[in-house]
Amino acid sequence: MTHQKTKPHSTPHRPSQGNRDFRNRTRRGNNPPAEQKIAPHIAALTGNASARPAITLKAGREKSLLRRHPWIFSGAIEHVDGAPRSGDTLPVRDATGNFLGWAACNPDSQITARVWSWRESEDIDAGFFRNRITNALGMRRELQLAEHSSGMRLIHAESDGLPGLIVDQYGGVLVMQIGSAGPERWRETIADILYELCKPVCIYERSDSDSRGLEGLEERNGVLRGTLPDNVEVIEHGLRFRVDVAAGQKTGFYLDQRDNRALTGAWAAGRDVLNCFCYTGGFSLYALRGGAKSILSIDSSQEALQLAQANVALNDLDVSRAEWLCADVFEALRKLRDQNRKFDLIVLDPPKFAPTAAFAEKASRAYKDINLLGFKLLRPGGLLCTYSCSGGIGEDLFQKIIAGAALDAGVDAQIVHYLHASADHPVLLSFPEGAYLKGLVLRVT
């Protein structure tokens, strides 16, 4: 899951920033302030300032691009000609001058450029964005991904050929999240195309993710097109969820766990369930509807828990079987262990402990801690549904951490499912970073 925070003990539910309309603050098609400066990464690499803007890589550093990985790190660049500004489209060449791709330049970022296209004859213009967006929408239609949900990820950034751009749909509302300088430059064009093709009642911009800081971009949160309805709702497998697009986490809801939530619902009948990091009640509602004997849901965000309880009421589910706890999961699990509480089904769906590999060691300890406690709280034959949405923790490492946790908890367990994000979060083969969400369902033997 694509959860937001890097620190295990944080409470990342964002305070409301209101529903401000940024159309009055940003002229159509104008250049964001970041374009005015030439950032240090690029300044240090400056080649011929009067030549046409272009990026030339160091010898041998073209390999990842030849494998069609779209990121160009500053360390791979030999020199940058011209005086490119943030968001400019530049040709990228290898050390001998061969064309590799057209890339959006992010001078303020360690990822100095992200490739839009590998074709030299392709223009990066409104037509290019129309094509890419049409393709993304077409794939989701062809695979009938709307069959079980009125909410869906319509554009999954690099994996849909649009680095740095996320668009999520909640019924008639689209939420756009821009994470890098390329789509920032094309923001108005992209909004126009989405408005025309999807005909939403509102396009809301939630460009306030942590990654914007790394890209030197200011935060944005407000209506881009149309009007935001008072209540935004998504219906997933017949369950209704209110979505707080202005102040909720990510773009308001964790669409990536849709299929996994449905699985949990199918196993819940007659079981005592514990849902850790419950957010607005996703797994809890499925478990209640699935006939759970009881469900204890824990989250550190009071706002998230309030919305979770409102969601239970919205679906006429039996509240008497549900218990809610606003607490730090790390502490709460220890208390439950000390109270000798036992469960038959436990969901652990924490926020992103390791956004990159640099955080892997610390994050591994946090994952091991909660999973070890999770194993201890399970009755024999119980199920542990455990997830990591950390880009910095690969699938192999995650499985090793869980194996270590089971060993230290003194239990034997078998993996009964390997889980991933739903199909509206495709993973481009050449961009394995797109596969951030991994889950294991373990049965304690």
Q: Which residues belong to the active site?
A: 389
**Residue 397 Cβ vs ligand SAH, minimum distance, rounded to whole Å:** 20
Helix, strand, coil distribution of the chain in percent, nearest 5: 35, 25, 40
Q: Are 74 and 112 in contact (CB under 8 A)?
A: yes
**Residue 432 Cβ vs ligand SAH, minimum distance, rounded to whole Å:** 23
Question: What distance, in Å, lies between the first and last C-alpha atoms of the chain?
Answer: 27
Q: Are 405 and 371 in contact (CB under 8 A)?
A: yes
Q: What is the dihedral of CA 260, 261, 262, 264, to 10 degrees?
A: 90
- Which tokens hold the place of 247? 């102040």
Smallest CA-to-CA distance from 411 within 385, 361, 439, 373 is with 373
Residue whose entry in the numeric block shows the structure tokens 């159309």: 23
Q: Is 65 or 366 the residue whose CB approaches ligand SAH more closely? A: 366
**Residue 98 Cβ vs ligand SAH, minimum distance, rounded to whole Å:** 44
Q: Are 123 and 135 in contact (CB under 8 A)?
A: no
Q: Which residues pair with 73 in a beta bridge?
A: 111
**Residue 265 Cβ vs ligand SAH, minimum distance, rounded to whole Å:** 12
Quote the CA–CA distance of 335 and 341 in Å, as a whole number. Answer: 9
The C-alpha angle with vertex 444 and arms to 438 and 445, in degrees rounded to 5, equals 135
**Residue 359 Cβ vs ligand SAH, minimum distance, rounded to whole Å:** 15
243 exposure class (CB count in 10 Å sphere: 0-12, 13-18, 19+) = buried
**Nearest to ligand SAH by Cβ — which residue?**
282
What's the DSSP call for residue 46?
B
Q: Which residues pair with 324 in a beta bridge?
A: 297
Q: Is 8 or 70 the residue whose CB approaches ligand SAH more closely? A: 8
Q: Is 136 or 287 the residue whose CB approaches ligand SAH more closely? A: 287
Q: Are 370 and 330 in contact (CB under 8 A)?
A: yes
**Residue 240 Cβ vs ligand SAH, minimum distance, rounded to whole Å:** 14
Q: Are 317 and 291 in contact (CB under 8 A)?
A: no
Q: Is 183 or 282 the residue whose CB approaches ligand SAH more closely? A: 282
**Residue 277 Cβ vs ligand SAH, minimum distance, rounded to whole Å:** 3
Pairing of strands 272-276, 294-299: parallel
Residues engaged in binding ligand SAH (CB under 6 A)? 1, 3, 5, 8-13, 249, 254, 257, 261, 277-280, 282-283, 298-301, 304, 328-330, 349-351
Q: Is 7 or 130 the residue whose CB approaches ligand SAH more closely? A: 7
Q: Is 5 or 240 the residue whose CB approaches ligand SAH more closely? A: 5
Q: Is 190 or 298 the residue whose CB approaches ligand SAH more closely? A: 298
